[in-house]
Structure formats: structure tokens, C-alpha cells
């Protein structure tokens, strides 16, 4: 007897692993912060870092701030999904966060620099990589300078690094413009990507 090909209801779905990335100063933190407010049923990974917090950052909310010795202990125990040394400081994603969220069926969103996103692409080919860009180079430069958190040498290094990062755009699945004047559109675009991915007939399946 021929098996029916009719399908009703939602297709089988697996939790998505979504990476929000892009060059320094592009607004990753602001985008993820607003996504968190508008996407309550999604788990947002909190990155661990060895750098000191900025004045507007809170431990356990923006990042898990630890000293270098503690971070290196996590590396030695293989407790990080990915990690990298960026501008002399470590950043990494604890494996436990992602696994626990997947166990509850929740999508996972993480913010990573481009180097970290490339590591996730290698480890998890079915992850969704979203590259944030500005509406113009001038706008991006203004944002970077306005932060006033880097020395002139550090600023020059970030600009040089960004040029290399933009060369990797084709490694990403989606390119989203994050305009300084319209972050709401950025959020809408990302939410549309997530909805679309959940309607795939061949769903992505991330295995850790």
C-alpha cells in the first residue's frame, strides 16, 4: 500500500542555533538586547569574557566577567563550546547553556565576533549565521568613535580587523543592515529569518 504524502500541521522542528555577528561597533549588543525583550521564548547565551566590564555593563546580564585564570581553567576542562582571544582578552560560550536550552526545545541566540562565528560554522554546520552591517561605512565609523572605549591604536586595529571580517560575509547565511536610526527594522528582519527557518521542509539539526 502506497504511503500517503499528505502532511498536516507543523513539520518536525528542532531548536535553532542563531549567531548574531559582525564587526566591532556594529551594534550587536543593542540588537541582542532588544531581541531578548521581544523574543521571550528564546534562550540568549551570555558570553564569558576575561575583560573588565564597561560602565554600562552588568555581570550575568551582558557578560559573565571572570579573570584570566578562571577563563583558562574553563578552557583546560573543555567546558566551552567555542572561545577566542580578541584584542588581548578571552571570550567564549559555555557548553552547558546551549545544551540545557536545547533540552527544553528553545531556540538559542548568541552574539559572537566574526572569528567566533567561523568557529561555530565549523563545529555546527547547521547553525544560522547572521552578519550585521551598517547602512554606510561613515555610520559605522561614527558609532565606533562615539564609544570612546579604545585608544587610537586600538581603534586602528579594530578598523583593520573589520576589513578582514567583511571579506568573510559569504560564509554567513544572512546579511542584515542595522541602521542606527531604525533598529526596530533590524529586529523585524531577524525575527522573519527565524520564522522562515522554522518552516523549512528540511529542518536544520544542530548536534553538540
Give me the residue spans of the domains in the chain. Answer: 17-197
Residues taking part in catalysis: 54, 147, 158
Whether pLDDT at 32 is above 60: yes
103 or 13: whose pLDDT is higher? 103
User: pTM to 2 decimals?
Assistant: 0.81
Whether pLDDT at 66 is above 60: yes
φ, ψ for residue 178 (rounded to 5)? -105, 85
Q: Report pLDDT digits (tens) over 68-96.
A: 999 999 999 999 988 888 778 998 998 88
Question: How many CA atoms lie less than 13 Å away from 43 in the CB half-sphere?
Answer: 19
Hey, what CATH class is 17-197 in?
A: alpha beta
27 or 8: whose pLDDT is higher? 27
Q: Report pLDDT digits (tens) over 169-190.
A: 999 999 999 987 789 999 999 9
Amino acid at each position: 500500500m502506497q504511503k500517503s504524502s499528505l502532511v498536516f500541521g507543523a513539520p518536525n522542528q528542532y531548536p535553532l542555533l542563531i549567531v548574531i555577528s559582525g564587526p566591532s561597533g556594529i551594534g550587536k549588543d543593542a540588537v541582542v538586547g532588544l531581541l531578548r525583550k521581544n523574543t521571550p521564548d528564546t534562550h540568549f547565551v551570555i558570553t564569558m569574557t576575561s575583560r573588565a566590564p564597561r560602565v554600562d555593563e552588568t555581570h550575568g546580564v551582558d557578560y559573565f566577567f571572570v579573570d584570566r585564570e578562571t577563563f583558562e581553567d574553563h578552557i583546560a576542562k573543555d567546558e566551552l563550546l567555542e572561545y577566542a582571544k580578541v584584542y588581548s582578552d578571552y571570550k567564549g560560550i559555555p557548553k552547558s547553556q546551549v545544551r540545557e536550552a536545547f533540552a527544553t526545545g528553545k531556540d538559542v541566540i548568541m552574539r559572537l565576533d566574526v572569528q567566533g562565528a567561523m568557529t561555530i560554522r565549523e563545529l555546527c554546520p547547521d547553525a544560522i549565521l547572521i552578519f550585521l552591517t551598517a547602512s554606510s561605512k561613515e555610520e559605522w565609523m561614527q558609532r565606533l568613535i562615539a564609544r570612546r572605549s579604545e585608544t587610537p591604536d586600538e581603534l586602528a586595529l579594530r578598523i583593520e580587523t573589520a576589513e578582514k571580517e567583511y571579506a568573510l560575509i559569504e560564509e554567513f547565511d544572512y546579511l542584515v543592515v542595522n541602521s542606527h536610526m531604525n533598529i526596530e527594522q533590524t529586529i523585524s528582519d531577524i525575527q522573519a529569518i527565524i520564522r522562515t527557518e522554522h518552516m523549512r521542509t528540511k529542518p536544520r539539526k544542530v548536534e553538540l
